[in-house]
Structure 1
Amino acid sequence: MFPILRTELTKLHRSLALLLIMAAPTLVGLFLLLNGLRDGQQRPWEVWLGASSGIWAFFMLPMSVTALTALLAQTEHAPRAWDQLRALPIARWRIYAAKALVVLVVVAAMTALCLMLTLAAGALAGLIRPENAPTGPLGLATVAESLGRIYLASVLMIAIQFFLALRFASFVPGLVLGIAGTFFAVVATGAEEGVFLPWQMPVNILASEPWRAQTALGLGLGLGLLALLAAIAVLSHRDVP
């Protein structure tokens, strides 16, 4: 499995994935920096980190997953390399499992990077304008736990986007679904039924109602792992994506 994982990471390195990995968390940090410099007042670290988690869970994470799975799939779809991969003396499920694991690891790394760049943005705001420096305790343990739960709640969304991206040679179906899912998650934020929408599960981790957060985590992680296993099984038994 490790040689396959190394190969998948090498493929991502040669694609635009690294740009995406850096760009998405950087945009969150840049927005918070500019907003912090603009409002002309000090805000607690809790506000900075809470805003970062909300932006990441609400919009940037779903769109990043959509783009990342499309990029991963196109490394095989574009050069029509599936036949060559399937001809290798390797169990097919290992190929798809490696790709799924790479997506999960990369999304986790992007989530952690979002936190680090938020801390950097707050520190930089304080250097540029000391009167705007964040105040109070960081509460890193609490924020890290919250981001971890956001990540775990996104597994179902990742599984769906992963399956569509690899199932269809065109990137359009996965892209359309990702945009549509994010759109409905945004416009239906307050709806009780929204907790069952995979694209809204990450942001529901931040909900004030405990049942929403618990439901989002349970469904997002539990159904997500099952959906990922099902996606790997289905893709492994198809001759043509």
Structure 2
Amino acid sequence: MARIMASEFLKIKRKMILFLVFLGPIGVIGLEAVNFGLRYEWLTGVYKEDLWGGLIGEVSMLSIPTILIGLTILTSMIANIEHQTNAWKQLLALPISKTRVFTGKVLLAVLLLLIACSLLAGGTIILGLLLKFGSDIPFFYLVKMCFFPCLASMPFLALQIWLAITIKNQALPLTIGIVGAIVSMYGMNFPDWVPWKWPLLMNEWGKPIYSVLAGLGLGILIYLISLVEFHRKDVK
């Protein structure tokens, strides 16, 4: 798996994928910088009891649709490396199990998303310091709000990488992913069992970890189902 992951990172070295990983967090932080810059007095008045909490909450809400759209584009670009060069048959002809090939693609997408979340957390700290919110940074809350939505989105990542690998025309996976991101914006109105609500970390128990566990559980299930299907189906 280490060799496979090294190969996957080499494949994306000169692609726009890494640029996208940086673009998402920078875009979110940039929009929040404009938001607080234009409405500084009003927003600091609203969040005067907890300036850092207010900033982190604002960043988190904006990051959720960004994560869902980002993972849709990332998975499509990762799978399309082989689609564009018609290299799937050559790749699968190598003495490497299909399980490792498929898992390598999934792990690459997960790692890139986690890198983006790390950049988002770092950018939030820089923005808060520039806004002079003090040095009393709630690191646990920051990590939770930056990484939990990503972990709760694992079912969508598993589904999108499956679609992107098995369907050569990327228009359908991209459409499904973008529609899902739009649906998630209204997720607060859905019952707790609907996956599009999980990235919002809202549930009737008021425990964000429940949404994360549900997302991880369904994500692993979809990964296992897609892995079985990948073994049975020829990728063209």
Give the alignment's TM-score, normalised by structure 1. Answer: 0.88
Alignment of 1:1-241 (within 5 A): 1-41=1-41, 42=44, 44-57=51-64, 59-124=65-130, 126=131, 133-135=132-134, 137-186=136-185, 188-193=186-191, 195-203=192-200, 205=201, 207=202, 209-210=204-205, 213=208, 215-241=210-236
DSSP-derived class of the 2:188 partner = coil
Percent identity between the aligned chains? 25
**What's the CA shift for 1:136?**
7.2
Gaps of at least 5 residues in structure 1 are: 127-132
SS at match of 2:62: helix
Q: Quick check: 2:79–2:165 contact (8 Å CA) kept in 1? A: yes
Question: Runs (4+) of structure 1 moved beyond 6 Å?
Answer: none
- Is the contact made by 2:56 and 2:145 (CA closer than 8 Å) also made in structure 1? no
Q: Which amino acid aligns with 2:110?
A: L
C-alpha separation in 2, matches of 1:150 and 1:64: 13
Deviation at 1:211, TM superposition (A): 5.5
Checking the alignment, whether the CA contact within 8 Å between 1:182 and 1:200 is kept in structure 2 is no
Q: What residue ranges of structure 2 are gaps of 5+ in the alignment?
A: none
Amino acid in structure 2 at the alignment position of 1:55:
L
Letter in 2 for 1:46: G
Q: How many residues are matched?
A: 229
| 1:118 match: secondary structure | helix
Render the CA deviation track for 1:191-219: whole Å, top value 9, x for unaligned.
233x444343211x1x3742574553232
CA distance in 1, matches of 2:29, 2:39: 16
Q: Counterpart of 2:40 in 1: which secondary structure? A: coil
Aligned partners of 2:127 and 2:133: how far apart in 1?
Answer: 10
Q: What residue identity is the alignment partner of 1:182?
A: A
- Tell me the amino acid that sits aligned with residue 240 of structure 1: V
**Cα distance in 2 for residues equivalent to 1:39 and 1:116:** 22
In 2: Cα distance, 1:152 partner to 1:35 partner: 26
TM score, norm. by length of structure 2 = 0.89
Q: Distance in 2 between matches of 1:154 and 1:96?
A: 19
Opposite residue 127 of structure 2, the aligned amino acid is A
